[in-house]
Amino acid sequence: MVDVNSVFEHHFGHFTPDEVTAERIAWCRRLPANWFGKQLAQWQRKRVIRGLEGPLDLRLDGIKMRVVLVDNVSERSFVFMPWRFDALERELMLKLLPRDGVLVDIGANAGIYSCLAARQLGKSGVVVAFEPNPLMVERLRFNLGATLADCTDKPRIDIQPVAVSDDSGSMSFYVNRKNLGASSLSRQHHSRKIEVDCRPLLSVIEDLKLSRIHVLKCDVEGNEDRALLPFFTDAPNHLLPACVIVEDNESQWQQPLLEVIMQRGYVETHRTRMNVVLQQRRQIKLSESETAVREAVKTSSVAGLAYREKTRS
């Protein structure tokens, strides 16, 4: 068995699947989006995973990913059942992102949202990807690099290896070894605990000198209220995103997150199997000072940076 923690030193294509595996995956992705399709995909998925000795290098929906199917539900879902994995949310994100758009991806995981956005954006676009789990940061970095390797107009990519929360500092992060995407700041029953840096979202956005956000996606396993409520309480109008995609963990929240977001002029437009989607009810009016900020801080002013990863102090 290949050590999945050491495979990212190889170039993309090193783990290209054989023809049988590739066809089985393609067959699953063509299945109907219903109960019968789910059962067939799960059956075929077990056959594929049973025969694997390492990761797979796959081209899916225009992006390149090195997927590790044994320890991350999000990667398995996107590979075998994309019609069950945030299909509406991903389509909506791409429709709302112009070439110079800005995606803020909180809980970026292996980079599915970030890679899809990066592939669509031009050199004036920005992807800010937050992921505190070091194992997932490695996958995220690799997948973004592979996806953009043949692009001439690369967007700016900011990988932030920190957790977004309501305060700055170091916090315990509980790693779910069976499903790395379910690791969290709050689930203490997971077997491994590490310390990660935390920062408030607005502080990071201001440090990056962003003047606008088109889509904000947040999936942090029940800590969405702590990650987003301070931002939507204090953010100036010009930083309010056009669309918010937030994982529906309302039963775990201790604060009325959706109510606070709606008070800033949003309306719930979709509620899917996993997420709540909110969009601005109408275009938010900017004050003269906020308009000046947006004009002065052009995203394209830093578009030449292909990658800028935050380093821990």
pLDDT band at 71 (very low <50, low <70, confident <90, very high): confident
What range defines the domain where residue 43 resides?
12-80
- Residue 122: pLDDT above 60? yes
Q: What is the enclosing helix (H) or strand (E) of 227?
A: helix 224-234
pLDDT band at 214 (very low <50, low <70, confident <90, very high): very high
pLDDT of res. 292: 54
pLDDT band at 307 (very low <50, low <70, confident <90, very high): very low
* Bigger pLDDT: 105 vs 249: 105
* Bigger pLDDT: 305 vs 251: 251
* Whether residues 204 and 69 fall in one domain: no
Asked whether 216 and 245 are in contact (CB, 8 A), the reply is: yes
- Angstrom distance (rounded) from CA 123 to CA 151: 10
pLDDT of res. 7: 83
* Bigger pLDDT: 202 vs 71: 202
In a domain, 113, yes or no: yes
pLDDT of res. 143: 98
* Whether residues 51 and 92 fall in one domain: no
In a domain, 313, yes or no: no
Contacts of 223 (CB under 8 A, 6+ apart): 163, 165, 184, 185, 186
- Residue 220: pLDDT above 90? yes
pLDDT of res. 253: 94
* Whether residues 50 and 173 fall in one domain: no
pLDDT of res. 6: 72
* Whether residues 133 and 155 fall in one domain: yes
* Whether residues 64 and 97 fall in one domain: no
* Bigger pLDDT: 180 vs 197: 197
Average pLDDT over the chain, rounded to an integer:
88
- Residue 288: pLDDT above 70? no
Q: What would the pLDDT profile of 149-165 be if each residue is shown by its tens digit?
A: 999 999 999 999 999 99
* Average pLDDT over every residue of 64-86: 94
Asked whether 57 and 64 are in contact (CB, 8 A), the reply is: yes
pLDDT of res. 162: 97
Domain end, chosen from 49, 80, 111, is at 80
In a domain, 41, yes or no: yes
* Whether residues 108 and 235 fall in one domain: yes
* Whether residues 110 and 57 fall in one domain: no
In the β-sheet with 102-106, what is the strand arrangement from edge to edge? 156-160, 126-130, 102-106, 215-218, 243-247, 275-280, 266-271
Residue of 56, 54, 80 whose CA lies nearest to 67:
56
Between 99-113, 142-156, 277-291, the lowest mean confidence (pLDDT) is in 277-291
Q: What would the pLDDT profile of 230-280 be if each residue is shown by its tens digit?
A: 999 999 999 999 999 999 999 989 999 999 999 999 999 999 999 999 999
* Whether residues 141 and 102 fall in one domain: yes
- Angstrom distance (rounded) from CA 97 to CA 57: 27
* Whether residues 61 and 185 fall in one domain: no
pLDDT of res. 192: 84
Asked whether 163 and 198 are in contact (CB, 8 A), the reply is: yes
* Average pLDDT over every residue of 26-55: 95
- Residue 222: pLDDT above 90? no
* Bigger pLDDT: 15 vs 185: 15
Residue of 208, 252, 209, 207 whose CA lies nearest to 227:
252
* Whether residues 155 and 296 fall in one domain: yes
* Average pLDDT over every residue of 97-119: 98
In a domain, 311, yes or no: no
* Whether residues 247 and 161 fall in one domain: yes
